[in-house]
Structure 1
Amino acid sequence: MNTRLLSLLILITGLLYIFIIPNVFEQSTIIVVFKVIPMLLIILYGLKIRERGIRNLVMYGLIVCAIADVAIAYSFLAGLIIFLLGHLLYIPAFWKYRKHTTLKWPFIAIAIYMGSMGWIFGSTLIGTTEQGLVLPVFFYIIVIGLMGIVAIKTRNRLAIIGALFFILSDSILAWNKFVEPLSSSHILIMSTYYAAQYCIARSRL
């Protein structure tokens, strides 16, 4: 199967899950299966564009995130922890290809953004029944912010776009869960998530 066909299948299955599947099926198992299919195709795409036999940290990160997609459907905390492991694989993968840059504002912008999100989510969670998630959420914010900063240091356009889409997707998910429900949250979360993983896979890092 060539990469163009794989890209098309990723797009089709992604759109199918985002716009159709949750509205047609009520059984969670079926919905989760369709949710993971685009990720499995993204993993296959990542393997296709790399030399045979090479299995780097980005690929491991994609696989871990696919597992997290299943886990988070049944336990938010379990999914959070497994996604965290995925980011902890992406960080050294990006760090390996870092380049010198004199630009400071992108790193400052991400730090301010993630700090703001941490304050908003923390202040919302404290004093509620989900207060136990404060520390895991804070740690997750720090790690994904670091992932975004290291991605920028690679100066790889696809890696940067992927990391920023990932941050956006997680921000929307957390806001929708902890602050207030957002209209079309499912569409916003999953479209940015699939785009993030596809760009990271295609970055070839």
Structure 2
Amino acid sequence: MRILLPLLALTGIVLMIIGRAVGPEWLCLLGKPLPIVALLLWLRQAPAGPYRLWIACGLALSMLGDLLLEWPADLFAFGLGAFLLAHLAYLVAYLGSSRRLAPGALLLAVVVSGSMFSVLASAGLGGLLVPVAFYSLAIGCMLWRALARLGDTAITRQSAWLAAIGALLFVLSDSLIGINRFVLPFEGAGVAILLSYWLGQFGIAASAMRHAPQLDASVASPASLR
């Protein structure tokens, strides 16, 4: 399994590279979900509990979003909806392990998500303005709760940092998609988007491997609210 899962992910990456470079396009449809499939299979080795469950839901919804975005027809709005639900699943996972207010993390998340929405809105989103606004809000909330775990002493340091870095990379990937699609297409966008996306998802999945499920119940204690 240690060899098969990296090979599965690598196969998906190779298929994506070939599909984008020389075609046919269906190679991208086949290859893009494979790294997420590998992460879902790897996640089965993580400690069981609500955190692993919600991270798995987020990965599965992300895989659905991958398929919708790569589909030959223009299903961007549906892909956006799938990734919106993925962010909400990660948000529930993070809330389940820490309820710290973390005002510094909140401020950073507001700046990041607000800036992203402002840049995209300035380019003109038409009918996507409201969906993108909700998406930006969801991203901001997810990022806030991921960063808030960094200061919670009840959470293992490895899990907190992996989730925070993964969330930041996921947000970066979404921002690059929006900029490339609505603001200013740029060379190398595909590589930058996929690299940040896959690394972000890896970090989020890896945070579940280091998570202690028995600590989920501690979020209701007064100490976890500081």
User: Does the pair score TM above 0.5?
Assistant: yes
- Structure 2 SS opposite 1:154: helix
**How many angstroms apart in 2 are the aligned matches of 1:40 and 1:47?**
11
> 1:29, CA displacement in angstroms?
2.4
Secondary structure, in 3 states, of the residue corresponding to 1:146?
helix
- 3-state SS of paired residue (2:44): helix
Residue from 188, 195, 213 that aligns with 1:191: 195
What residue is the counterpart of 1:8 in the other structure?
6
Spell out, residue by residue over 1:116-159, the C-alpha distance to the aligned partner (whole angstroms, 9 max, x if none): 2111111211xxxx500011011101101110000111220100
Q: Secondary structure at the match of 1:31?
A: helix
Separation (CA, whole Å) in 2 of partners of 1:88 and 1:100: 18
In the alignment, which residue of structure 1 is the partner of 2:184? 180
Q: Does structure 2 retain, via aligned residues, the 8 Å contact 1:121–1:178?
A: yes
Q: Which residue of 1 aligns with 2:156?
A: none
Deviation of the 1:83 alpha carbon = 0.7
Aligned pairs (5 A) from 1:75-154: 75-98=75-98, 100=100, 104-125=103-124, 130-154=125-149
Unaligned stretches of 5+ in structure 2?
151-159, 212-226
Out of 161, 165, 174, the residue aligned to residue 165 of structure 2 is: 161
Find the aligned partners of 1:95 and 1:73 in 2 and give their Cα distance: 31
**C-alpha separation in 2, matches of 1:110 and 1:154:** 13
Structure 2 Cα separation of the partners of residues 46 and 13 of structure 1: 19
Change (3 A) 1:116 1:55: closer
- Unaligned ranges ≥5, structure 1: none
| Post-superposition CA distance 1:28-68 (Å, at most 9, x none) | 3221111111111111111123349x961111111111011
Across the aligned residues of Structure 1 and Structure 2, the Cα RMSD in angstroms comes to: 2.2
Normalising to structure 2: TM-score of the pair?
0.79
Contact preservation (8 Å) 1:73, 1:79: no
Q: Aligned equivalents of 1:34 and 1:65: distance in 2?
A: 14
Asked if structure 2 preserves the Cα contact closer than 8 Å seen for 1:114 and 1:141, the reply is yes
Change (3 A) 1:149 1:17: farther
Identity of aligned residues (%): 30
2:55: which partner in 1? 58
Aligned residue in 1 for 2:224: none
Q: What's 2:22 paired with? A: 24
- By how many angstroms is 1:19 displaced? 3.6
Q: Which residue of 2 aligns with 1:201?
A: 205
- The answer for the alignment partner of 2:67 in structure 1 is 70
| 8 A contact 2:180–2:189 mirrored in 1 | yes
Aligned-pair distance for 1:73? 2.1
